[in-house]
Structure 1
Amino acid sequence: MVERTVWACAVVASTISAITLLMISWSWSVETPTVTVTESTNYPTWNLPFPAVTVCNLNKISALAARSRAETMRRPANMTVDELMEMFRLFLHVTGLGDPDPVRYRLLHDIMLMNNLEIPQLMGEFTPPCGTLLERCMWKGTQWRCDNLFQVVNSTEGLCCSFNYYGLLKNNYPKKITVSVPKDPRRVMASGYQTGLSILLQPLAEDYHSTDVASYGFKVMIHSSYDYPDNDAEIKLVLAGTESFITLRPTATYATVDALDVAPAVRNCYSRQERVLGVMQRYSYVNCMVECRAANIYAKCGCVPYHLPNNGSMRNCEMKDMECVVRARDRYVTAVPTRNGFVERLSYGSVVAPCGCLPGCDKVQYPSEMVTGGMNRSFSFNAISFFKDIQLQNQSLVHIYLADLTATHFRMDIYQDWLGVLASFGGILGLFLGFSIITGFEMVYYFSMRLLFDAISKKSDERNASSAGQN
């Protein structure tokens, strides 16, 4: 009796332990449906596109352009040209600079209405042109005309000059060179600054009027060719009179077919074909979020600021809308609108994705490092043609290139397929209960065939006993 009791306790304990571990294993599979693992640290970089390089002057408004426009505009009799130029700085309030000033907003709105002007039009005039900022351009060791490589694009920094950018359905290159522009993002087959992009930048320090950084120079944004130039990009500050080397160490992530078979809400990502955006050509988390911010501010103020994407279906903000835009700034500068003050209380998975935006299943990122030094060509003789006929004063030279021939390649896959579940469950059951395929057959045999045979045998014995009694 004691032996049977001990044996029964052991079986019950093993069964409870097995069931507990099976539940834990299953909960892990449910809570973590996908995992991302390192597939290779030697993935060839020529399989990845070179990033887009977006160059933005720290000076948002050209003093010469602002004065030229102010002199030709109709304005109140008691307002001077310098005072009107000063009011142009109110345009930058949309990017987070300055406090709301409804009176001056309304005054500038009336002046612009009097002259039939809009903010995007004036910012297009006031932004220093790419042809002036970009003095020399070299791509993969060959000198190019800068306007053949760079196009004017909109960004969260305003109008900038972008290389290798394919985010929009229609590019902004001059019509005469549109045919020669590659259909897909450019790539490189080597590493080192001689095989990347080199640009000589002219900051035009004497033309500064309105900046968001107390310095002369540029912001260089490095991002995916299909992503909107946003603050999510790798941003480097390049000062005037310096030579900077920006090295890139790209990483790529892709999703397997098994992972893509899982619902987007479960795997927590979208493939490029699963969601179509309104303005941007290809889905990515950055593009979805920037369109989401534009939609949020449009819902609040009935207009979209000039530095956010707009395909023309939404009204551009005017100066009369600026007070609403500035007061609702959290709607377009934060990842979770209206929740900026409570970020420390949020946990992963507790916030619904704004506008249904999820990360992209396939993505390429470009972590970077920058080394900067003062530019002095007194003792240098390399690339003489690159600097021919240029009087170096406070220009900036920037090199953007790959640091290595290999990159890190990540694979997103399901946490457990049917074979993994079978191995996991089978291992637990085998460890605690000695369960195996043979055991399964034995149980089937014991509870079905054996009972059937016993019943047949019993009936046969009863029939034989009955026959013997009659005899």
Structure 2
Amino acid sequence: MLTRTKSYEIDMDVDSETRALELPSSRPCRNRMRALRKGFLQAYHTYSEHTSIHGIRYIAEHRPLKERIFWAIALIASVYYCFILINSAYTKWNETPVIVSFAEKSTPVWNIPFPAITICSETKRILKMDGPTFADLYSQMKEDSKEGRVFKPDNISDMEIEEFRTLLHVCNTQIIDPNMPLLPGEDISYYDVLDRMLPPFERYFFYCRWLSRFNECDKFFKKTLTEEGICYTFNGLHSTDIYREDTYQFQRDAKNKVDDLDGKNTSALYPPWSLETGYAPNSDVETYPARVLSAGARSGIFMALQTFKKEVDYACRGPVQGFKVLLHAPDDVPQVSKQFVRIPMAKEVLIAVKPNMITTSEGIAEYHPLRRQCFLSHERTLRFFKVYTQSNCQLECLANFTLAKCGCVKFSMPRTLDMPVCGEDKIYCYDRAERKLLVREFHRLRDLNAADGVQRGEEMACNCMPACTSLVYNTEISQANFDLEEMLIADGDTEFLREYPGSQMSRLSIYFKESQFITSKRSELYGVTDFLANCGGIFGLFIGFSLLSLVEVLYHFTLRFCWNVKNFMKMEK
């Protein structure tokens, strides 16, 4: 204590001598700097004596140098590992804030719509006994193109030429010729030609049952334009409820929006439905889109599908004949060529449906879509569609990419009225466009994942992340032989065979497997509260730091520091 006093007296003497030698103009600045230094040192010593942070007191006290070095190293190591763990907690909070888990309660099947069912026949037109087949015309076209001649088959009407040009877009040719010529003739409406070639509906759907209603299949199904021609869709939303007003699909079907059994507008009869909000609380048993009340074959749809051997054109659709069936959400545009269930002839096929639905909690709406890796319905606006789904987004992106690469779009793609439709000479181009798009997206995603600090999905060209609320229908399929002809012969009923010669029939039944199912739910895994609690625990474990510790730091080096400086300035005066 005596040593410190003596040292202080010496400092005062030195200061007095220094002040005596200084010029009068430099003394106020010198006094201010001395007051700041002394005020800071006093605040530091006071803080180190009272702080709750471990280790700082031992460094500030007058202890042996080795002890102070030891505590300094211990404090620096604790702070270092503290920030390492906090950085790990921040990374977890920033990159994986959302988790998909099972919901607490099961969901009844009447809470979701029955799956939309799109059925496509492999028969694209009825073959005429004396008319040319697709194989005949296709072989002649390739021969004329090889010889440099214009394709002009003999004894063929303009209508048959239009049908052949249309079939080129939907038939499965083994190798699409990149040099396929543009066939002579005016621009045609491929939809109108496909509709003209389409066999009568009753030849396909011989019998069906839905909600105890029999033989009214034409009231339940509506025509749908797909990449494989015109198909029939059951329980899907109408085109005017999916597409925007300026699209070709909306304009084409706006005048035919009559789907109800009584000839009324279905979307006007029932409360609106969306995948995020579900059915209205006051909705009745019959809804749009339709739903069922229980599981089992009796509560599903049952139908008999029919084709005829004489109508099969193997050169167009290949060796596998029958029907393709796609189950999808009602607000999805069907893309039959991507995934489907094959319905062969002379078989009975049972499809048990197991829905897989993902819902969202309210908390995740605050996160950026790139962080939660999904879009809410209002966050992603599509050019051609009113409803955002990942499938619709990918279809729109493919249409835009095809337009950029080929200068046109395929007849089945969403488009506006002023967008050109690809002719026969562009078939190779739009057929390869999808693969080019997938390759481009693959390279972009790979490069983004390889870059440090870039989140997955950022800056993707299509930007088609999943919808936060989604519905997928998984299936379990079983089948058995269905020999209708042998059964009719055994019963002595030959009238059907005379009326429908060459008939090939299959039965199809689609139903929910269980009356209730477990949904998945996107919810907050690691929120701001969890992050702050984690940081507080790490700070407390390593250095004993808390929120009041931060208040102590601010107090001693702001208010207390200013008060000390003010007192020393008075003393200097």
For the aligned pair, the TM-score class normalised by the smaller chain equals 0.7 to 0.9
Correspondence 1:435 to 2:545: yes
Partner of 1:306: 411
From 361, 364, 373, give the equivalent of 2:468.
361
Correspondence 1:78 to 2:154: yes
**Residues 31, 225 of structure 1: alpha-carbon distance in 2 compared, 3 angstrom cutoff:** same
Q: Deviations over 1:388-443 (max 9, x none)?
A: x9669521111111111222322223443221121221122222223334545555
**Residues 80, 235 of structure 1: alpha-carbon distance in 2 compared, 3 angstrom cutoff:** same
Retained in 2: the 8 A contact 1:130–1:161? no
Partner of 1:133: 204
Identity of aligned residues (%): 24
Using the TM superposition, give the Cα deviation of residue 11 of structure 1 relative to its aligned residue in structure 2, in angstroms.
2.0
From 193, 197, 206, give the equivalent of 2:310.
206
**Amino acid of the residue matched to residue 179 of structure 1?**
K
Retained in 2: the 8 A contact 1:241–1:375? yes
**Residues 97, 353 of structure 1: alpha-carbon distance in 2 compared, 3 angstrom cutoff:** farther
Question: SS of the counterpart of 2:89?
Answer: helix
**Residues 262, 162 of structure 1: alpha-carbon distance in 2 compared, 3 angstrom cutoff:** same
Partner of 2:325: 220
**Residues 93, 351 of structure 1: alpha-carbon distance in 2 compared, 3 angstrom cutoff:** farther
Using the TM superposition, give the Cα deviation of residue 265 of structure 1 relative to its aligned residue in structure 2, in angstroms.
4.2
Using the TM superposition, give the Cα deviation of residue 193 of structure 1 relative to its aligned residue in structure 2, in angstroms.
1.4
From 106, 121, 131, give the equivalent of 1:57.
121
From 173, 176, 193, give the equivalent of 2:297.
193
Q: Which moved more, 1:430-439 or 1:336-345?
A: 336-345
Correspondence 1:323 to 2:425: yes
Normalised TM-score (structure 1): 0.79
From 363, 368, 391, give the equivalent of 1:286.
391
Q: Whole-Å Cα distance in 2 between the matches of residues 199 and 437 of structure 1?
A: 69
Retained in 2: the 8 A contact 1:119–1:306? yes
Unpaired stretches in structure 2, ≥5 consecutive residues: 1-63, 135-150, 241-249, 271-287, 450-455, 488-492
**Residues 459, 119 of structure 1: alpha-carbon distance in 2 compared, 3 angstrom cutoff:** closer
Normalised TM-score (structure 2): 0.66
From 230, 242, 266, give the equivalent of 1:181.
266
Question: SS of the counterpart of 1:366?
Answer: strand
**Residues 221, 314 of structure 1: alpha-carbon distance in 2 compared, 3 angstrom cutoff:** same
Retained in 2: the 8 A contact 1:200–1:398? yes
Q: Which moved more, 1:293-302 or 1:439-448?
A: 439-448
Retained in 1: the 8 A contact 2:409–2:419? yes
**Amino acid of the residue matched to residue 264 of structure 2?**
V
Q: Whole-Å Cα distance in 2 between the matches of residues 66 and 268 of structure 1?
A: 58
Retained in 1: the 8 A contact 2:457–2:463? no
Q: Whole-Å Cα distance in 1 between the matches of residues 123 and 485 of structure 2?
A: 29
Question: SS of the counterpart of 2:307?
Answer: coil
Unpaired stretches in structure 1, ≥5 consecutive residues: 381-386, 463-471
Using the TM superposition, give the Cα deviation of residue 166 of structure 1 relative to its aligned residue in structure 2, in angstroms.
0.6
Structure with a larger share of its residues in strand: 1
Q: Whole-Å Cα distance in 2 between the matches of residues 61 and 378 of structure 1?
A: 24
Using the TM superposition, give the Cα deviation of residue 49 of structure 1 relative to its aligned residue in structure 2, in angstroms.
1.3
Larger Rg: 2
**Residues 329, 424 of structure 1: alpha-carbon distance in 2 compared, 3 angstrom cutoff:** same
Question: SS of the counterpart of 1:272?
Answer: coil
Partner of 2:94: 30
* Equivalent residue runs for 1:17-416 within 5 Å: 17-40=81-104, 42-64=106-128, 67=131, 76=152, 78-79=154-155, 88=164, 91-93=167-169, 97-101=173-177, 105-106=181-182, 109-110=183-184, 112-113=185-186, 117-166=188-237, 168-169=239-240, 177=261, 178-179=263-264, 181=266, 183=270, 184-209=288-313, 211-231=316-336, 234-318=339-423, 322-331=424-433, 333-334=434-435, 336-337=437-438, 339=440, 349=456, 352-376=459-483, 394-416=504-526
